[in-house]
Structure 1
Amino acid sequence: MKLRRYSRQREIIHAALKETKEHPTADMLYERLKPENPNLSLGTVYRNLNQLVEEGSVRRLSFPVERFDARTEAHPHMICIRCGRVVDIDLPYCEALDRQATDMSGHEVSHHELLFSGTCEDCRKIINIKS
């Protein structure tokens, strides 16, 4: 891991990620931070997110759209098939699944990422109102 010098902008971006459970895209973070940080550019957000990922402070989530998560320990996510919202699912990590995948595939599985797809609570409410 390369030691980086202090960056106020990186600190602001990291703090914004830690304050939300939304799993924002780089564009979403930029739009949220720009009003209070007029000198911030979208390129700076991307560059600093990449640096935070490299140092292990942030996770990159590759769903249909790349998102970021300040919660770095392994945990599953749920993505809404209607609105695209991503939320954490608080389930314990299942090491037995890694072992089973290793046994079945012959590959040495080091970890897994679990993604559930479904309809979020807000979208279900809208669907119920319409029906």
Structure 2
Amino acid sequence: MKVGQRRSKQRELILEELKGVTCHPTADELYEMVRKRMPNISLGTVYRNLELLASNGVILKIETGGKNRFDGNSEMHPHVRCTCCGKVDDLHLEVVPPVPDRQSSQGYEIIGCNIEYFGLCPECSKIKENEGPTH
């Protein structure tokens, strides 16, 4: 946690659950996981804490254009997202993005980089295969 950020049992539990999985859950999915250990936690508490943790760089927020997903591994690493079901997985490969210099960054102060690949997960690929060609 960041210096000066108050500790809370709810936040610590949310972080512990998120770091314990590799499935990149949505806030709703994480809420269901946390509720098993803390039944009285609210969905709003989960959302607020995930946003706080993400804004402080403790976790990654993966914006998908729909329901955001969260990653307990805050180190920069590539992801692959299924364009059919929205599932997100880590890609275990070395990616070294070029670092722009001051001139090529058009005056922006670069604070991070997101590398995401798109495709179909194995389950959605099987479904598409079984459906056959569409004409």
- Give the TM interval when normalised to the shorter protein: 0.7 to 0.9
Give the conservation status (yes or no) of the 8 Å contact 2:54–2:60. yes
Determine the structure 2 residue equivalent to 1:88: 90
- Residue aligned with 1:95, SS: coil
**1:31-42 aligned within 5 A:** 31-42=32-43
- Residue aligned with 1:32, SS: helix
Give the conservation status (yes or no) of the 8 Å contact 1:99–1:109. no
* Count of residues in Structure 1 that have an aligned counterpart in Structure 2: 129
Q: Normalized against structure 1, the TM-score is what?
A: 0.81
What RMSD over aligned residues (CA atoms) do the two structures have, in Å?
A: 2.3
Give the conservation status (yes or no) of the 8 Å contact 2:82–2:88. yes
One-letter identity of the residue aligned with 2:40: N
One-letter identity of the residue aligned with 1:46: Y
The percent identity for this pair of structures is 37
Please give the alpha-carbon distance, in whole angstroms, between the structure 1 residues aligned to 2:5 and 2:36: 26
Residue deviations 1:19-53, cap 9 Å, x none?
Answer: 11111111111122223321110111112212222
One-letter identity of the residue aligned with 2:92: D
- Residue aligned with 1:68, SS: strand
Deviation at 1:7, TM superposition (A): 1.4
Higher helix share: 1
